[in-house]
Structure formats: C-alpha cells, structure tokens
Structure 1
Amino acid sequence: MKPENEKLLLEAGAELGFDLTAQAETFGRLLDLLVTASARTNLTSLRDEWAIVLKHFIDSLTCLRGGWLDGEQRVLDLGTGAGFPALPLAIVRLELHITAMDATHKKVEFVERAARELGLTNVEPLVGRAETLGRQPGQREGYSRVVTRAVAALPILAELSLPFLALGGFLVAQKGVLDAGELEAGTRAAAEVGGDVRAVDTFTLPVLGDARTLVVIEKTGPTPQRYPRREGVPNKQPLFWRAT
C-alpha cells in the first residue's frame, strides 16, 4: 500500500472512531492480494488503491457503528463477494467468528486464501446459496449476527437472512440511500419472517461523503418453515415490494 493510501486508511478509520495503526500492515497485504487476484479474475471492479481503501475497507467497517457487533459473536457475512465486510471485520475484531458465504466459488476461494495468508483464523469460508443453506441444520438459527453489504433490496435481505439468526440475533444490513418504499416493504417482510426493525442509521462515508444507511433488524420470533422460499424466488418476487 502506498504511504498516502495508508495515511488515508488511518484518517478515515479515525473518523469512524478506530485507531487502525496496528492493523495497517495487514490491510496493506490484503490490498496487494486483492489487486493481484483481480488482475487474473474479476473479483472487484475497483482498481485504484484509494478506492479500495475507502469503498471496500472503510465502508466494510461502518457496520461496526452502533455497537451491534460488539463482543464475541458468531457472524454470517451473507453474500461476501471478495470478502467484504468479512475480511476487514476479521482484521479489526478478532473476537468475531465470521462465516464468509457466497454462491460464487472463485470469490470464496479468494476469501479462504486471503484469510490463510493473513493469518485470520476467525474466518470460515462457505460456498452456497442462502435459500438452500438457510434450511440446513447448523446453519438455520445458527448465528447471533448476519451482516450484508449492498446485496439486495431490504425485503429480500430479510427473507434470506433471518432464517440464519437465533432468537435475539440481529441482521445488520449495509445499504446506500434507502427510500421510504423499500423501508416499508422491508419492515413488513421482516415481520413476516420473524423480525422487527430496530434501527435505521443514516450517515456519510468518511472522506467521500457518500450516503450510507445501516438497517438493523432483530430476530424476535421463529421464522416460518416456508421461508426462505426456493432458489431465485425471493429475488424475483420480493415480499411486499415491487421496484419501480
């Protein structure tokens, strides 16, 4: 990582309330791994170091706002892609036990390799779709937290995520700008699958000022056995919502 981008990492981290000095070298190694792997296969569309620092590393850490991930937790990163937010969270919060799940093998393979090379023993890779894994013993109701980052509309996230949560657990969904229609549908979908919206936190990304929203949903009751619906249905027919 170039010195100016390490400085950017530290300054943006400080805006979030984190001193990342001790983790800067590890983030630098992750950046090198990501850039090298992306030259061979399409893991991320971002190529500039500063963009990766802000839009992957720092953006991933914004889900720590509000303390929802404090303490030792079993966390599922649903739709991790190239490991975001799983890898930055694992670097900063060693007490989190994170399962990084994605349906794309090459992305999960990168996460597994990166975690191994960075010495992150608190990351477990998992290949599969939420509609299938959310019905499996050990996965269904197996997590205290689920995190998602720009995966899908809120009603879809509620249906796919809440089956994984134990009662009293929380979904922490990272979104951009969230309109009232999506929030309303997401609230109704959450209630349908056993959840209740607890917080809607709007803020801006450090340095860039891009709009961000954290939506936090608590698992307040059991998810009916009919959810999640079969593969592809939640995306094609989101509960209570139709995009315009």
Structure 2
Amino acid sequence: MHEMMQVGSKKWQNLIYEGAKNLDIEIDKRKTEKFAIHAIELMKWNQKTNLTAITDPFEIAVKHFLDSIVPVKIIPSNASLLDIGTGGGFPGIPLKIILPSLSVTMIDASRKKVSFLKHIIRTLELKNTDALHIRAEEFANKPGVKKKFDVIISRALSSMTSFAMTALPFLNKEGAIIAMRGNVSCDDFQLLRSSVNKRQAILLDGDTEAFEISVKRYSLPYLKSDRSMVSLKKVQGSVFKVQG
C-alpha cells in the first residue's frame, strides 16, 4: 500500500523523480515542479470539469505522468508531435516538459478539456504548443495538416487499429505512430498488421507506404501493471516485427 501524499508536494515530486530514474529517464527539479503545477491544476479543474477519473495522488503520478514519458527515447528532438484525444494533456504536456524542443499539437473533442489545456499552456509558458477543440476526422480536412507530423501519439484509444488508421494521414515521410495501452495480444497485433496491409493495397495516389511495427512491453514503476507501447514507423520495404 502506498503512503498518503498531496498532489504536487515534494514527496509527490520525488515519486516522479525516482520513477523516471527507474525508467532510465533523466528529469530535473524544474521539470518535476512543472509536472506538479500541471497535476495541481488538473485536480482543481477536475472538481468542476470531468478531466480524469484518476484522483489518487500516487496514481496520478504513475498512471498519468510516468506513463506519459515512457516514449521519450524514441521521439527525436525538435519533432512535431500530434497528441490525439489528449484529455488532460497526456502524454503531450509531460513529453513537452521533458523534451522542450518538441512542437506539440493536442486535439480533443471536449471543449472543457481544451480550455484546461490552454490554461496549462499559458501557466507553464510552453512554447510551440497548442490545443485544439476538434475531432481527428475533422482535423484531417484542415489545410496543411496531412503528412505534417513526425510523431502521432495517443493513450486514449479503444482500438489500436482504428487509432493507427486515423493517424496515418497526418504522418510525414519518416514519421512514427505511437499507441500506448495495456497489454497487446497477438490478435491485436495481427489485426493491426492486416489493416495496414489492406491500406497499402488501396492507396490510389501513387504513394507507397511500408511500416515497421514494433511492440515494447513495460511495467510502470511502483505498480505491477503491464503496459505496451506499439509503434508504426515508415520504412523502405515492408517489415513487421515484435520487440520486447
């Protein structure tokens, strides 16, 4: 049983620091302080707006913040990142805090959640960071967004395959799609592979796409909670593999 603590307290920040170290991710005091501000504001706004069902300080630290930063090692510096269905800003804002050179666009279908995100962006003075109240399907019709992003990421996915198909139009030539979720079964993986193959077969604009699909399995610090990070990366030639 974890000990009681307040969201954003020194004890809470130390939990983040030690958890990041466990994930082999460097984080300094200034960044844990920004995480704390995000978490405190999340809890304040959550009293009147449904931003998250997770309200326990320990679980907020681990399931929201530490889980959000797991992909940092596969995201290039200066990348343009699109976070689809970001909710309270996860993983977009923690990733921006850890990797300040990122250009981050977060989209969500909830106006109240986007209002919160704009407040956090202002409060933390996050540059090259935006939050938009729009669905991914509508966003795809906006001028200039197709094939714009280096990384498309989501933790809010009911179906890994449907997320991948939604994300593909936004992905640039050498980009990657990252889906973060609970354990991925062989059936999930095969369905994803089959859907990508079908998409390759029906492309009509003469473009060619090939993807390396990999799965990294990990456990969150402090919890016996199995998670999976599935990435699709555009490559030359068609390659499918499972890692981890």
Sort the TM-score into its range (normalised by shorter chain): 0.7 to 0.9
What is residue 173 of structure 1 aligned with on the other side? Answer: 179
Q: CA RMSD in A?
A: 1.5
Deviations 1:49-90 (A, max 9, x none): 1111111000100122xx320211111001111100011011
1:3 equivalent to 2:18? Answer no
Deviation at residue 197 of structure 1 after TM alignment:
3.6
Letter of the structure 1 residue corresponding to residue 163 of structure 2 = L
Matches within 5 A, 1:10-89: 10-22=17-29, 23-64=31-72, 67-89=73-95
Letter of the structure 1 residue corresponding to residue 45 of structure 2 = A
For structure 1, the 5+ residue unaligned runs are 222-244
Deviations 1:84-137 (A, max 9, x none): 001101111001101011111111111111111011113111121112212332
Q: Provide runs of 4+ in structure 1 moved above 6 Å.
A: none
What is residue 92 of structure 1 aligned with on the other side? Answer: 98
Distance, in Å, in 1 between the alignment partners of 2:120 and 2:81 is 18
Give the conservation status (yes or no) of the 8 Å contact 1:190–1:217: no
1:209 equivalent to 2:207? Answer no
Letter of the structure 2 residue corresponding to residue 112 of structure 1 = K
Deviation at residue 168 of structure 1 after TM alignment:
1.6
Deviation at residue 220 of structure 1 after TM alignment:
4.9
Change (3 A) 1:88 1:182: same
Matches within 5 A, 1:108-187: 108-187=114-193
Deviations 1:16-45 (A, max 9, x none): 122323311111111110000001111001
For structure 2, the 5+ residue unaligned runs are 1-7, 200-208, 237-244
Give the conservation status (yes or no) of the 8 Å contact 1:162–1:219: no
Question: TM-score with structure 2 length normalisation?
Answer: 0.85
Change (3 A) 1:122 1:15: farther
Aligned residues: 219
> Identity over the aligned pairs, expressed in percent?
29
Distance, in Å, in 1 between the alignment partners of 2:11 and 2:232 is 38
Distance, in Å, in 2 between the alignment partners of 1:57 and 1:14 is 13
Deviations 1:149-204 (A, max 9, x none): 14231210111011110122100111111111111111122233345243111111
Letter of the structure 2 residue corresponding to residue 14 of structure 1 = K
Question: TM-score with structure 1 length normalisation?
Answer: 0.85
